[in-house]
Amino acid sequence: MNVRRGPGTARLVPLVLVVVLTLVGGLLAGCADGDEQGLLGGGTGSGAVTLAEAQQLLDTRAAAVRDGDRAAFLGTLVRNDTALVKRQRRLFANLQDLPLATFSYTVLPATWPTPLLSPDWGSEVSLPQVRVTTQLDGFDAVPVNRITGFAFVRVDGAPRIVSELTGSGEQFPGSGPAPWDLVRVRVRTEGGTLQLFDNDTWASREQVASVVRRGVVDVQQGLPFDWDGHAVVYVFSRQVVLDSFEGVPGGNITHLGAMTFPVYADPGQPTVAGTRFTLLPSSIRAGQPFLDRITRHELTHVAVGDRDDGAPVWFAEGLAEYMGARSIRKFNRKIATVAVSRARDGVRALPRSATFNGDNQAWHYALSWMACDYIAATQGEPRLWELMEAFHNSGAGTPDELQDGVLLTVLGIDGRELAEAAGRRILDIYDKAGSLTESPVVPPVEPAPSLASPATSGSTASAM
């Protein structure tokens, strides 16, 4: 499953380390890790914290992350809010475990509206918008910026942070928090991959590491271009993290087994800093061979990157499905059983991009996979990559309405002919009443109601 980028998305550029951490010496000199006195909303001082003071405080906070100085980091907070201190201890521990090339804060002139304040903060509170900049060393091509907020007050005259959340205890609107902002993250590096877990999924780390290791090698062997195998893998079960994902295909992440998505350098802008791949616990519980397949599927999306941007969804997902099943012995490849019944009814068209995900996604994945498998079986694997390049169209993309022209040019058949051929291939391989052709096909990437084996095996797998 791939969260699609639109046409015109910028290509990843070489990693440039940007040093933006500024040490403001002496700002919080003498701040200990102990409790401070004073109310949340103020103290003996008066007047709202200025933007310059807020910037100084956040610069000290960023420098503390760089220096590994937890006392200085926590010293920027009001200390009589135990929940705030606990969250910030967790964040500091997460940031220390991540391979950060860049970490900084920038206080912006804009402020958040009054309804996001809390009366507990007092009357003289500052709530500016703040840009947080991070960059994962070796994984993000450019720094990633997100806009959030901090509430600042004075405690005995000194600026302090009273909250990194809104007055109702929520993330700031549109702030797009990362998992390390939300839960304790467990970090593992394996070869060129960065694997992030929560406490509940940490027990699966060895299993995930071996699956990803095999998947990277398998995908590299099937690509016609070089890929360094770098990937950031999320393995989280905590609902607060799952709820934070945006643009989930079909609107419900619980219906997915995995998902690949771009991380944009700036909100609302097309430049992509990096790509993440989330492997959901349901796929880990499903075990083999599904787990290997879905991992290869998602790693294909990561490796392909923006090379398929603007292509019809059926092709992007069908190609990933093909790569996911490519290394499985042909008689062990399974397909959603719905594909057999739908193929028996006759196939007249390829899945449309706008309705690809949803109630019929198991069928759409199966048909798309078979379309790509048919192309590889009849015209060779290189034709798949030629088709990808043609669909990409130098970044301009190809809408569904224009795909027939591309298909005719590259394959010599149109969309209807390809769909009919894919339907026949499903029946040839998987229909118990039919006979097995020269080469079976690939698997579904999302858990399907049930899976059918090639016709020669006569078995049916349970739902994943």
Which CATH code fits 51-175? 3.10.450.50
The residue among 173, 185, 168 whose CA lies nearest residue 149 is: 173
User: Domain limits of the chain?
Assistant: 51-175, 178-309, 311-464
Residue 48 φ then ψ, to 5°:
-70, 150
Q: How far apart are the first and last CA of the chain?
A: 16
Residue 157: CB atoms within 10 Å = 12
Chain centre to alpha carbon of residue 52:
35
pLDDT (tens place) for every residue of the chain, 464 residues total? 776 554 333 333 232 222 232 322 332 223 333 333 333 334 445 689 999 999 999 999 999 999 999 999 999 999 999 999 999 999 999 999 999 999 999 999 999 999 999 999 999 999 999 999 999 999 999 999 999 999 999 999 999 999 999 999 999 999 999 999 999 999 999 989 999 999 999 999 999 999 999 999 999 999 999 999 999 999 999 999 999 998 787 777 877 889 999 999 999 999 999 999 999 999 999 999 999 999 999 999 999 999 999 999 999 999 999 999 999 987 788 999 999 999 999 999 999 999 998 889 999 999 999 999 999 999 999 999 999 999 999 999 999 999 999 999 999 999 999 999 999 999 999 986 543 333 333 333 343 335 566 654 332 222 22
| 51-175 and 178-309 share one fold | no
CATH 1.50.10 fits 311-464, yes or no: no
Report the side by side order of strands in the sheet with 460-461: 335-336, 451-452, 460-461
From residue 61, how far is each of 37, 56, 95 by CA, in Å?
A: 20, 9, 12
Which CATH architecture is the domain 178-309 placed in? 2-Layer Sandwich (3.30)
pLDDT of residue 455: 59
List C-alpha distances in Å: 458 to 105, 328, 335, 432, 433. Answer: 60, 18, 13, 7, 11
Q: Let me know how long the chain is.
A: 464
Instruction: State the Cα–Cα distance between residues 425 and 342, nearest whole angstrom.
Output: 12
Question: What is the per-residue pLDDT for 253?
Answer: 82
H helix or E strand, kind and range, residue 410? helix 403-410
3-state DSSP: the chain helix, strand, coil percent, rounded to 5?
40, 15, 40
**Predicted pLDDT at 3:** 66
Q: How many CB atoms lie within 10 A of CB 203?
A: 11
Which CA distances in Å does 364 have to 423, 436, 448? 11, 22, 11
Say what the pLDDT of residue 2 is. 75
